[in-house]
Structure 1
Amino acid sequence: MVEKGTTAMSETPDTEAVKRSRVATRRKLVEEAAPVFVHKGLEAASVADLCAAAGFTRGAFYSNFESKTELAVAVYQYRVNHLVDLLHAEVDRQLAREVPMAEVLGFVLQSLTGFTEDGAWQGFRLEMHLAADRDEQLRLAVDEQYERIVAAVAEVLATVGRHGVSYTLPKTDLARLLIAVWDGELLRLGRRMTSEGGIGARLISATWEAFTVISPEAEAGGSGTR
């Protein structure tokens, strides 16, 4: 008999374990979805395809997402979260090592679309942009994540600007311009972007060089103005 005010341990579910399991399931579905969406297309990919890729049942899928559109939005948010965190962390690390500012800016630019060597991510972004024209939910998600990337790049440009770098455009405008150039090449080349002689990288480097002034100290790897 269980006394009033107490709970039998055998009847108490391990809620923390359940939460961890659900988080792990959701994350696995998100991590495995991008290649499926790229291979099949957002519209043609089925819930069964997505479940098979992650190794889960339809029940597990619908316990976490109402639809594959909701999953696609979660994939985009997840990858942008990772990109923003990585971008800030890596730039801070390079600044602490007093890497020449041109190299720091180069890293920022190569990271604009996130993991430039990751063909699945590039292909997924293209799929999202194409599908956004036909789906309001996806359009809002794409717009929201684009603004997050712009804000992250502008913040990093501001951080770099405190180390001997100045710009002839407002930082947010420069961030949008750089992303526009990179995305233009991404749309043209898709997953071939990193194998076409670095055309995208050269164009975007020429763009930021046109609007950036690096002090001699910062160019040499000095700390510049703290």
Structure 2
Amino acid sequence: MPRGSTGQRAVTTARLLESAAEVFAERGFNGASIGMICERGGFTRGAFYSNFASKDELFFAMFEAHADVLLSRLRTALEQARGASDPLQRFAGLVAGQADNDRQWFLISTEFTLYAIRNPEAAAALARKDEAVRQEIGRIFTELLATTGRELVVDPALLGRFAVALREGGYAQELVEPGNVDARLMERLILPAVLDAFSRNSADSLSGPQRLDRQ
């Protein structure tokens, strides 16, 4: 995480993140150097290292910022879906409509994932970050289903994993086949069906949710 992001440091940090996003998307994580990032933003290496210890740390600051936006959108969709005639469909429609289809972030995160696959330390750090996001998505799904009188019969984080795979996989197909794939439509159709399939009426529960699967 960036250290001491107040005042001018906060401005510098934000500009470094913007510069890094551009360079990562253009060059890939491995192909982007700290020098390139500094040059793009008009900074010295000293300015970089006063905010981030490494490219990995910079990426995870970007990851957390993106995750905060995503989870905020999901929470907003949950609140708006409460009281709807079909909360699951309403939620899925809102979430799909909120998809920013950010090509830049998709390229950055995919490149870092490939880097992490070859780097055990980065993979472990990415897995921890991903798990935290999935856990929160799972909690949101649990609350959403509760509004319909249903409860999950699988680990909520497993559904979070599926939701992330659905969004990222659909967007990848849309980028490869522009005009032939509608990732938003896929999400609107599939997400409610999955939530319904892996949940049951809360009244049918005798001793709490039965876990059918694990992560």
Category of TM-score, reference length = shorter chain:
0.7 to 0.9
Spell out, residue by residue over 1:72-124, the C-alpha distance to the aligned partner (whole angstroms, 9 max, x if none): 222122211222233223432x136747421213334676xxx4421101111
Spell out, residue by residue over 1:191-225, the C-alpha distance to the aligned partner (whole angstroms, 9 max, x if none): 447744315742673354144179xxxxxxxxxxx
TM-score scaled by length of structure 1: 0.70
Runs of 4+ in 1 over 6 A off after TM superposition: none
> What residue ranges of structure 2 are gaps of 5+ in the alignment?
200-215
2:50 and 2:73 mapped to 1: Cα distance? 30
2:13–2:51 contact (8 Å) kept in structure 1:
yes
Amino acid at match of 1:54: G
2:18 and 2:85 mapped to 1: Cα distance? 33
1:145 and 1:40 mapped to 2: Cα distance? 24
TM-score scaled by length of structure 2: 0.73
In the superposition, relative to structure 1, how do residues 140 and 180 fare at CA in structure 2: closer, same or farther (>3 Å)? same
- Residue 29 of structure 1 aligns with which residue? 16
Question: How well do the aligned residues superpose, as a CA RMSD in angstroms?
Answer: 3.2
- Residue 160 of structure 1 aligns with which residue? 144
1:168 and 1:84 mapped to 2: Cα distance? 20
Alignment of 1:135-146 (within 5 A): 135-146=119-130
Question: Which is greater in Rg?
Answer: 1
Identical-pair percentage = 23
2:150 and 2:68 mapped to 1: Cα distance? 27
Amino acid at match of 1:183: E
> What residue ranges of structure 1 are gaps of 5+ in the alignment?
1-17, 215-226
- Residue 47 of structure 2 aligns with which residue? 60
In the superposition, relative to structure 1, how do residues 19 and 146 fare at CA in structure 2: closer, same or farther (>3 Å)? closer
2:138 maps to 1:151: no
- Residue 173 of structure 1 aligns with which residue? 158
Alignment of 1:173-212 (within 5 A): 173-187=158-172, 189=173, 191-192=175-176, 195-199=179-183, 201-202=185-186, 205-206=189-190, 208-212=192-196
- Residue 10 of structure 1 aligns with which residue? none
How many residue pairs match? The answer is 193
